[in-house]
Protein backbone atom coordinates (compact mmCIF):
# COMPACT_ATOMS: atom_id res chain seq x y z
CA UNK A 1 0.00 0.00 0.00
CA UNK A 2 2.61 2.55 1.09
CA UNK A 3 4.76 2.53 -2.10
CA UNK A 4 1.77 3.53 -4.27
CA UNK A 5 0.93 6.64 -2.22
CA UNK A 6 2.00 10.07 -3.50
CA UNK A 7 3.26 10.93 0.00
CA UNK A 8 4.27 7.59 1.60
CA UNK A 9 5.61 9.29 4.73
CA UNK A 10 2.08 10.58 5.46
CA UNK A 11 0.67 7.02 5.81
CA UNK A 12 -0.93 6.35 9.21
CA UNK A 13 -2.46 2.98 10.04
CA UNK A 14 -5.78 3.37 11.89
CA UNK A 15 -7.26 -0.12 12.28
CA UNK A 16 -7.20 -3.62 10.78
CA UNK A 17 -10.20 -5.96 11.03
CA UNK A 18 -10.34 -9.68 10.31
CA UNK A 19 -13.72 -11.40 10.21
CA UNK A 20 -14.26 -15.07 11.10
CA UNK A 21 -13.71 -17.68 8.40
CA UNK A 22 -16.88 -18.56 6.50
CA UNK A 23 -18.02 -22.05 5.44
CA UNK A 24 -15.93 -21.91 2.25
CA UNK A 25 -12.68 -21.15 4.14
CA UNK A 26 -12.54 -17.44 3.26
CA UNK A 27 -12.44 -14.48 5.63
CA UNK A 28 -12.89 -10.77 4.89
CA UNK A 29 -10.06 -8.47 5.93
CA UNK A 30 -9.98 -4.67 5.91
CA UNK A 31 -7.63 -1.88 6.93
CA UNK A 32 -8.43 1.77 7.61
CA UNK A 33 -5.63 4.27 7.03
CA UNK A 34 -5.01 7.97 6.47
CA UNK A 35 -2.66 9.59 3.94
CA UNK A 36 -2.19 12.86 2.07
CA UNK A 37 -3.62 13.22 -1.43
CA UNK A 38 -1.99 15.02 -4.35
CA UNK A 39 -3.64 18.26 -3.20
CA UNK A 40 -2.12 17.90 0.29
CA UNK A 41 -5.38 16.99 2.07
CA UNK A 42 -5.23 14.05 4.48
CA UNK A 43 -8.08 11.63 3.77
CA UNK A 44 -9.20 8.39 5.33
CA UNK A 45 -9.35 5.28 3.17
CA UNK A 46 -10.21 1.60 3.53
CA UNK A 47 -8.43 -1.24 1.74
CA UNK A 48 -10.34 -4.49 1.80
CA UNK A 49 -10.19 -7.99 0.44
CA UNK A 50 -10.55 -11.65 1.27
CA UNK A 51 -8.05 -14.11 2.70
CA UNK A 52 -8.23 -17.73 1.57
CA UNK A 53 -7.28 -19.96 4.49
CA UNK A 54 -6.12 -22.66 2.06
CA UNK A 55 -2.68 -21.36 1.07
CA UNK A 56 -3.12 -17.93 2.72
CA UNK A 57 -3.59 -16.09 -0.58
CA UNK A 58 -5.13 -12.61 -0.43
CA UNK A 59 -7.52 -11.25 -3.04
CA UNK A 60 -7.55 -7.43 -2.95
CA UNK A 61 -11.06 -6.24 -3.65
CA UNK A 62 -10.55 -2.51 -3.59
CA UNK A 63 -9.73 0.73 -1.88
CA UNK A 64 -12.39 3.26 -0.93
CA UNK A 65 -11.90 6.83 0.27
CA UNK A 66 -13.98 7.86 3.24
CA UNK A 67 -16.62 10.54 2.72
CA UNK A 68 -14.68 13.11 4.77
CA UNK A 69 -11.23 14.63 4.91
CA UNK A 70 -8.87 15.92 7.59
CA UNK A 71 -7.66 19.44 6.85
SS3 label, residue 33: strand
Overall pTM surpassing 0.95 (yes/no):
no
> Mean of the pLDDT values across residues 12-36?
92
List strand residue ranges (DSSP E) for the chain, in order. 12-18, 26-36, 42-52, 57-70
Question: pLDDT over 70 for what percent of the chain?
Answer: 86
Taking Cα atoms as reference points, which of 53, 45, 64, 44 lies closest to residue 18? 53
Pick the residue with more confidence: 70 or 62? Answer: 62
At residue 3, the pLDDT reads 59
Q: Using DSSP bridges, classify how beta strands 12-18 and 42-52 pair: parallel, antiparallel or unpaired.
A: unpaired
32 neighbors 15 (Cβ within 8 angstroms): yes
Amino acid sequence: MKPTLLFPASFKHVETRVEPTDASGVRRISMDYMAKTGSGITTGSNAYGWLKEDGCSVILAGIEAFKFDFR
